[in-house]
Structure 1
Amino acid sequence: MNYNISNIDFSDEFVFKTSRSSGPGGQHVNKTETRVTLRFNVLESKYLDSYQKQRILTRMAGYINSDGELLIHAEETRSQAKNKEICIQKFYELIKIALKKEKKRIPTKPTRAAVRKRIENKRKNAEKKERRRNTDWS
């Protein structure tokens, strides 16, 4: 199934939290909270069905805490607003990846050259072992 998640507005289910960002900034960095954390409760979302919720929980387990919340952090820029936009963009990318249907692998036949090479190696190995066996010491 292909889901078009980008058309859904999840903004009323987002919870944003700001904190002090690491990195350069001098004295100003100690006063401003530019790091943004987006919290999205997957289990309580009204826009996702149960299959989608389960798929997100299993495929994005590294981003999900014990309460079933998807956590996304952004501290790339010194602007809180830009970091908020980055969080939202990351959210939609992660959801898209989680809900993307995996392509079924179609097994391919080995090439003739590969088969020929394998048979040749088997033959050489057999000859080597045969030479080891037939040693008459008497």
Structure 2
Amino acid sequence: MLGSVVTEGLEAAVRSAGRETFSRSGGPGGQNVNKVNTQVTLHVPIDAIGLGDDEQERVRARLGARISGEGELVIHCSQSRSQAINRELAVERAVELLVAALAERRRRRPTRPTRAARERRLLAKRRVSEKKASRRIDRD
């Protein structure tokens, strides 16, 4: 798992390289929703946050649907009625996504079924076979 130092570095990179745009959010909120641009859209260029080539490829592969044609990670946040809170939430979400995408997946160690498991499987198959055989009509 990536350490907190790496997470802090990613957060600083997202804050410095990211570009925010604001728009009106939908949902309940009355006059506040109609007049204030509280929804935040955060655009983070993948090549500007200090990742190596292999890390950039891993991020692009795992977050492909969230990456725009310009190579930017795009995060929308309209969770709160406050623009400042939505800005913080968008940065947090971007860092979470990047950390998850950069995490090395553990390789699966191939295992074999135990002898008892193989015997249980064969016994179950034999029972089903006998049940079906008992349904057949003997033509002699």
TM-score by length of 1: 0.83
Deviation at residue 93 of structure 1 after TM alignment: 0.4
Per-residue CA deviations over 1:2-44 (Å, capped at 9, x if unaligned) read 57531312122010000001111112311100000110111x3
Structure 1 residues 89-123: Cα deviation after superposition (integer angstroms, max 9, x where no partner):
00110010000000111233324442222121343
Contact preservation (8 Å) 2:59, 2:98: yes
Percent identity, please.
Answer: 38
Unaligned runs of at least 5 residues, structure 1? none
Unaligned runs of 5+ in 2: none
How far did residue 130 of structure 1 move? Answer: 6.9
1:67/1:129 CA distance change after superposition, 3 Å: same
Q: Give the aligned CA root-mean-square deviation in angstroms.
A: 2.6
Using structure 2 for the length normalisation, give the TM-score.
0.82
SS in 2 for 1:16: strand
| Structure 1 ranges of 4+ moved more than 2 A | 1-5, 107-114, 121-133
> Does structure 1 conserve the Cα–Cα contact (< 8 Å) formed by 2:23 and 2:39?
yes
* Bigger-Rg structure (1/2): 1
Separation of aligned partners in 1, 2:99 and 2:49: 17
Q: Is the 8 A contact 1:18 1:34 kept in 2?
A: yes
